[in-house]
Amino acid sequence: MKSFLVNIDIRAVAGTHKIYVRDVQSEKPIIIFRTKASENLKYSVKTLDINQISLKDKTIYRYPKLTLPRNKVDVLKEKYNLSVVRTSDTADYKIISEDYVNSLLERKWTDSVLLNDFIEYYKKTNIHWDNQSVDAAISEIRSVIGADEKVALSIKSNASWNHHSTTAYDISREMPFIEDKSSYISDEKTLKDILSANNLIFDTALCGVTVEDSIILGEAEYNNLVTMIDSNDTDNINLVLEMMANCNVEKSFDIIALLFYMHHNTLKDRSSNWTSVNVKTLRKRFNNFIPYGNLNVHYYDRLLKNLCDENFLTEFAFKVVSVKMLDHLVRSVGFNQESIFDINLNDIRLKPAFQEKMMKKNDVGIDIISNTPAYLPF
């Protein structure tokens, strides 16, 4: 959608105050997100299911900012006789990343109002406006747009503090601004091409293909990897990171997320391969699993909610987090054998909405319904 920056100020006129339009400037187009989920453009991009297509003898085009290192592309070339082309128009499939799609947007700081809504509001409050400057601004905008074209106006007020108590100031602040979030589009043509394409594949999905024959980290490996991390030995931690980066990431997702989230500082500070190509690829895939803030209920909430968003909230992950949270609670509050209170692991439960989304999984990454595995660490 086209957008224009409208600079306004307030001036004293004949014992009252009026809103003046100083000038109108064409600016970058904007995109309006009508729902919170759509604020992440990832959900607006139509991508193919990697399991429903054939890569054999196909060509791919690589957009910038991919989480797909050269060595993994080499695996694809060898395995599927895949080739990389330099133009998107000739490619069978185009590889896109969430980072690249989001890089096509720029944060918008000023409030926006649709042109038609602004005109209606102006007509109702016209006695508080300098009609000559407003009418000239509207005419200028209409001269460069289509008859029925939707246009947004970014309103930038330059009113000084001594005008904040005036009616004109209140009128300028009460315009029918768009409540939905909006952003500038830095490359409109590329974004339109991406949103209309029918042969896109997310880089993370293609990365999964390169390791689909690799080892799957199951619950049985979790304790061993935690022990290696807790040793604070650089060689051990390097090995843990390599195992995480080169395993079947998608089928080991909950295990990697737990390790990455709960041991992030140790993995980062005690390793010497944190910036290697493979580990950087892993870090990008698990960028939403970087912990922050204090060790409180939000810390544990965020981990499980992010797993839920990725559709990898497993029973094992829930129980590991429950053990950690219970231990933290007991130690921070000071429970001991002399306390009259009794609290145990069974007292920690997920709310029904999240309970429904929790899955059980065996050591080969297959969803199952069974009793709790005997090797769970609790």
In tens, the pLDDT along 283-321 reads 988 999 999 877 788 899 999 999 998 889 999 999 999
The model's pLDDT over 158-194, given as tens digits with 9 standing for 90+, comes to 988 889 999 999 999 999 998 887 889 999 899 999 9
Backbone angles phi, psi at 349, to 5 degrees: -135, 150
* Residue of higher predicted confidence among 359 and 4: 4
Could you count the other beta carbons within 10 Å of the beta carbon of residue 77?
13
* Strand partners of residue 4: 26, 153
Look at residue 41 in the predicted model and tell me its pLDDT: 65
Residues 6+ apart with CB under 8 A from 26: 2, 4, 5, 144
pLDDT digits 0-9 by tens, 193-248? 998 999 999 988 888 888 878 899 988 899 999 999 999 999 999 999 999 999 99
- The percent of residues above 70 in pLDDT, for the chain, comes to 92
Tokens of 45: 């991009």
Q: What is the C-alpha separation between 68 and 53, in angstroms, rounded?
A: 19
Identify whether the C-beta of residue 317 lies closer than 8 Å to the C-beta of residue 219: no
pLDDT top residue among 323 and 43: 323
What is the rounded distance in angstroms from the CA atom of residue 113 to the CA atom of residue 177? 4
pLDDT recorded at residue 375: 32
Structure confidence at residue 111 as a pLDDT band (50, 70, 90): confident
Tokens at 272, concatenated: 């010497």
DSSP states along 59-115: EEEE-SS-S--HHHHHHHHHHH--EEES-GGG-SEEEE-HHHHHHTEEE--SEEEEH
Quick one: pLDDT at residue 294? 73
pLDDT of residue 374: 33
Helix, strand or coil for residue 2? strand
Could you tell me the pTM of the whole model?
Answer: 0.66
Sorted by sequence, the CB contacts under 8 Å of residue 184 that are 6+ apart come out as: 3, 27, 28, 29, 30, 105, 106, 107, 108
As a whole number, mean pLDDT of residues 110-121 equals: 94
Report the mean per-residue pLDDT for the chain: 87
Number of other CB atoms surrounding residue 61 within 10 Å: 19
* Residue 207, CB-side half-sphere exposure with 13 Å CA sphere: 26
In tens, the pLDDT along 34-73 reads 544 444 566 678 999 998 999 999 999 999 998 888 888 8
Specify the higher pLDDT residue, 232 or 349.
232
